[in-house]
Structures are given as C-alpha cells and as structure tokens.
Structure 1
Amino acid sequence: VGPLAKGVEPRQLTIAVMPEPMLPDVTAHADCHDALKHTIELLAAAGHRVEEMEMSPDQEVADAFGRVWSVVASQVALEDEEEDEESLEPFTRYMRDRGRAVSGRQLHAALTTFRGIGQMLTDLIFEVYDVILTPTLAQPPALIGEFTTDTDANANFDRMTAFMPYTPLYNITGLPAVTVPVHWNDQGLPIGVMLGGRYGDEATLTALAAQLQSAAGELGRRPEIW
C-alpha cells in the first residue's frame, strides 16, 4: 500500500482495538496479541488515539456466516455436475452439501443479519471511532495441509473458523479492510493486524496502512523456512 499512499499522512484518528473475536470459545494466540500490542505502540507514537473495545461473542452470527459460505460453494457451476463433483476436494463437497440443505428462509435470515451488523457498526462504532483494529488471524501462519489432513470435514470447518475468526466481519458487512504485516514471531513468521473502516473510506485505511508499514520497517524480510 506504500506507493498508493505515498506522501499522504492520515489525520489524527480514533481507533478501536478489538483483541478477541466475536466467535464464542475462540481466543487469539499470544503471537497475535504481541502483534496487536506492537501496533498499538506504533499508532500511539504516530499521534492516534487508541481505545480497547469489546464486542460480545455471537454464535448466531457465526452460524449465519457458515450457511451463506456453504450456499456460495453450492452455487459454483460445474460442467458435469455428477462427474466433476466427485473430483472435488472432500471439504468442498462437504460445503456444497451443506449449502444445498440451507432453506430460502434461512438464507434470507442470514443476509438480514449481515445487513444489521453493517448498520450497527455504522451507527454505533463508526460514529465514535474512525478505524477498528484487530489481529488478522487468531493463530500464526498454518502449515500446508493443516486444514485438509483430518478426514472429519466438520472438524476441518471448525479449525478453519478458529483460525480466521476476525475476517468474516468484513465478508458479511462489505466494510473495507486491509491487513498489514507489522510483527515477526520467535519462529521468524510474519504476524499481521487488520484495519477496518467506514463504508467508502478506503483512503483512510490506505494512508494508515502505509504509515504503519513505514513505522514497522523490515518489510523485505522473508521467513527462514522459505
């Protein structure tokens, strides 16, 4: 984002920090909290006002996201539905089967929930704050195959959900967001944070992300395992 925002400094912003996800029984890894803490220090040093905020976990929202995600998977067209379906990854077939079981009323309810959350954030959160700051993921980068080794598709789904519980907030609302690599853990792996903003306010996020990247430094590093 640096070249996009070159020479543009964000104004002093009021930033809400949400350390924990809205997903029940999921907490962020210590590395992700370290990245968040480091980011808060960088933002405060740049003159921004940072305050912690908590949003109550909501299983109903998580279930709605799972329904819509599966419906989207089920609607991807295949040239030969019967033959090509068998060639799909087991998890993809699992999601398509889930999607076919979602009723029209359930889909409508889920989409209505999404719209309500977007409106709530607009009316309540973004009336007070300019940006929401969270970890990007709840865990450090995963190993290749980590979400496909289990033959239990339900278990894979739960592991994926626990791995990325912050990003769905922007999937379901359509609010703009950007992830910024600001931290490295003891294993030399990059840990990012995510900035979310008001509808149509990508300019603020781009400028703030560029400022954060510049302050974090060492952007050319690569994990040793690469």
Structure 2
Amino acid sequence: PYPAPAPPTTDGYLSRAERAQPGRLRVGRYARPVLTDVAVEPECMAGYERASELLEELGHEVVEFDVGVGQEFVSVFETVWAVLAHSHPVWTDAEPLLTPLTRWWRARGAAVSGPELLAAMQNATRLARQVAARHAEVDVVLTPTLSQLPRPVGWFTDGGDPAEDYERQKRFTPFTALYNITGHPALSLPLHWTDGVDGPVLPVGVQLVGPRGGDALLLELGAQLEAAAPWCDRRPPTG
C-alpha cells in the first residue's frame, strides 16, 4: 500500500507540463538492474548517457545513485503479483481463454497462503519506505527503461513456456518493477534512437522516477526534455 496525492486544485498537471520549467533539479542515476542479473545492451546505455548529458545541458545536477535495494524484493513482487492475478474471478470455462502466462500466475497465486501474503505485504511496505528514504536524497531518479532493444512481436512467448516468458520479461525490463511495488510515479521518454546500421531505427527509452506525490514535477521535467529533444514526428518501422 502507498499513498496517492490529491489532485491539485490549482497549478495542475496540464499547466505544469505546459510550463516545462521545473527549476534546477538534483538527478540521481543508476543503471544496475535490480530485478535480475542482466547486462544492459550498449544502445540502452547510450540512451542513458545521452539523457544524463541532456539533463546537465538543461542545468540540472546529475549524480551517481544507489537505490539501496537488490533482488530481495523479487520474491515480494512475485508473491503480490501472483495473488493479484489469482484474486480476479474468472469463470471456469473462460480459463482457457487466458494467456498461458496469466494462467501460470493464477496457479502460483492459488498456492500462496494467507500468512505468506501478509508477510509479502509487510515486506513490500518496508521496501517502499526504504526506497522512499533513499530517493529523498535527490529530486528525480534516472535509469534506462529497458536493458534490451525492443523485441519482435511474439519473442516473449515463442518458447511456449510461461516461466520462460516471465524470465524474458525480467531480463527485458529489470528497472520498472521496483516502482510498481513502491508506488513512485515514473515515466519513460524515447530520448535516444538507434542509427539503423545493424537493424531498424528504434526508439530507446529512459525512465524518470519522481518522489511520492511528485507527479506534476515529473510531468514538468518530461515536458522540458521533450522540448529539448522532440520525438513526436518520429516513427519506428511497423514491419
């Protein structure tokens, strides 16, 4: 559980995004995956470095940052995720319509006991507080969005094994799941594009994570970055 900010009554999200002047921010950055051990591909690191440079060009302070959490949060995430999947009622005759991965998660959730769920929720709260305390050292946190370039449609499921599907997802996006647990607002911006020499020209994202309740600040910073490096007229290939 985590708090959600009340909607602003004045100076709301739209006006903050339109203003795009967040002031000088202290931005902590890290590129060590926390969901699983995986090497971050060079293009993803290039996007991360380019975003760091752009933030500095805009006047922000960029510092190295340790989020203070390792893979101990994975079991918490998996327990909560599995129970959430299982908790939604589905008619028996509709179960086969679910994807293999969803059915796999539901089966895992059915095997979780009440005390195990309670322990996972308590650990989730503890981890959220721990991460929030560490994030308080900076205004915003920067990470790569993905550790790998976008994969072809069907890449996650082509092995037919839902457990392998999940492992591929963990390796693909090892930076975002933590903030599903902690409740920090986050956004992804395609500030880098591949050069197309070794494949199609593809967008490469970076993730910006704000403080709890800092949604407006995050939108304002995102708008500032988009104005400095616009992408609205760029399209990746569809075939």
SS at match of 2:19: coil
Distance in 2 (alpha carbons) for counterparts of 1:32 and 1:2: 30
Contact 1:183/1:190 (CA < 8 Å) preserved in 2? Answer: yes
Q: Corresponding residue for 2:116?
A: 106
Aligned mate of 1:153, from 135, 147, 162: 162
Alignment of 1:135-154 (within 5 A): 135-154=144-163
Q: Report the AA paired with residue 98 of structure 1.
A: R
Task: Give the C-alpha shift of residue 60 in structure 1.
Answer: 2.4
Aligned mate of 1:166, from 168, 172, 175: 175
Task: Give the C-alpha shift of residue 54 in structure 1.
Answer: 3.0
- What are the superposed Cα offsets for residues 108-136 of structure 1, whole Å, 9 maximum, x if unpaired? 2222222122212222331x200010111
SS at match of 1:142: coil
> Which blocks of at least 5 consecutive residues in structure 1 are unaligned?
none
User: Identity over aligned residues, as a percent?
Assistant: 38
> Which blocks of at least 5 consecutive residues in structure 2 are unaligned?
1-12
Distance in 2 (alpha carbons) for counterparts of 1:118 and 1:188: 37
How large is the RMSD of aligned CA atoms in angstroms?
A: 1.9
SS at match of 1:58: coil
Distance in 2 (alpha carbons) for counterparts of 1:124 and 1:100: 34
- What are the superposed Cα offsets for residues 185-217 of structure 1, whole Å, 9 maximum, x if unpaired? 133111111111111111110111011111112
Task: Give the C-alpha shift of residue 94 in structure 1.
Answer: 0.9
TM-score normalised to structure 1 length: 0.91
Distance 1:84 1:182, change over 3 A: same
Task: Give the C-alpha shift of residue 184 in structure 1.
Answer: 0.5
- What are the superposed Cα offsets for residues 91-121 of structure 1, whole Å, 9 maximum, x if unpaired? 2111110111112222122222221222122
TM-score normalised to structure 2 length: 0.87
Distance in 2 (alpha carbons) for counterparts of 1:162 and 1:56: 20
